[in-house]
Amino acid sequence: MVARKRTDWIVDLSSVFIHFFVAPVLQIYVAHTALNALVPGLKGSLPSSLWVSLVLYAVVDYTWYWNHRLSHSDTVFWSLHRAHHLPETIDVFATSRNPLITHFFRVYLWLVGLFVYLLDDPTLFLSIAACGSVIIFWGHTNFCLPADSIAEKTISAVFATPRQHLWHHSRWNPRCNFGSVLSLWDRIHGTLHQGDTLPESYGSTQSEPAWRQILWPF
């Protein structure tokens, strides 16, 4: 296990604050203010049934799969995402690591805000989204189930487990396992990598100052 650097602590804790406090403000005020101005008649127009909520969340997760995959292409979007893949130690604190500006390009942030606006009662949808967030944070830990266990095989058939997502953060094989909650999208599009072992190394030996990782990644 590589020791966590001081810069990693600064970036990760700052990113956690942005994730839980700044990003929700963007969703609530920016998205809802715009929607209220543009389509006030659509507010609360969708029924909040279980199936509607599940379908809407599947739309969020599938759209994020492509958003995430685009972030690993040789475009400006990699600059926005690169800081997430710099740490050599992957744990729950690294989950939210992204520059502030990156959140404006995270499609799930705006889709969640849109669907909350459209649903007559978004409680069930937000509960499903909260469960998805738990899976995402779990995926950035070393709490892996045994590779040959029934539990791992069953859960990983549907959801992205740490054993899958840690390979996404491996130093030599990062262009795989783009799904953050459901592993289905990787299976469909041929980007799934299943390893019986875990990667030997993570992140990058490249070093960037904390201010750049948090505020200006270009």
pLDDT digits (tens, 9 = 90+) for 32-62: 899 999 999 999 999 999 999 999 999 999 9
Number of alpha helices (DSSP H) and beta strands (DSSP E) in the chain: 11, 0
Convert the pLDDT of each residue in 121-177 to its tens digit: 999 999 999 999 999 999 999 999 999 999 999 999 999 999 999 999 999 877 899
Give the pair of three-digit tokens for residue 117: 């606006």
The rounded radius of gyration (Å) of the Cα atoms in the chain is: 18
Convert the pLDDT of each residue in 170-215 to its tens digit: 998 778 999 999 999 999 999 999 888 999 899 887 778 999 999 9
DSSP string, 134-185: HHHHHHTSS-PPPTTSHHHHHHHTTB--HHHHHHHTBSS--SS---SSBSHH
**Where in the chain are the domains?**
6-214
pLDDT value at residue 31: 84
pLDDT value at residue 41: 93
- pLDDT bracket for residue 30 (50, 70, 90): confident
pLDDT value at residue 24: 85
Give the pair of three-digit tokens for residue 108: 């799930």
Residue pair 82/156 in contact by the 8 Å Cβ criterion? no
pLDDT value at residue 1: 56
Convert the pLDDT of each residue in 54-81 to its tens digit: 999 999 999 999 999 999 998 999 999 9
Q: Is 218 exposed, middle or buried (0-12, 13-18, 19+ CB in 10 A)?
A: exposed
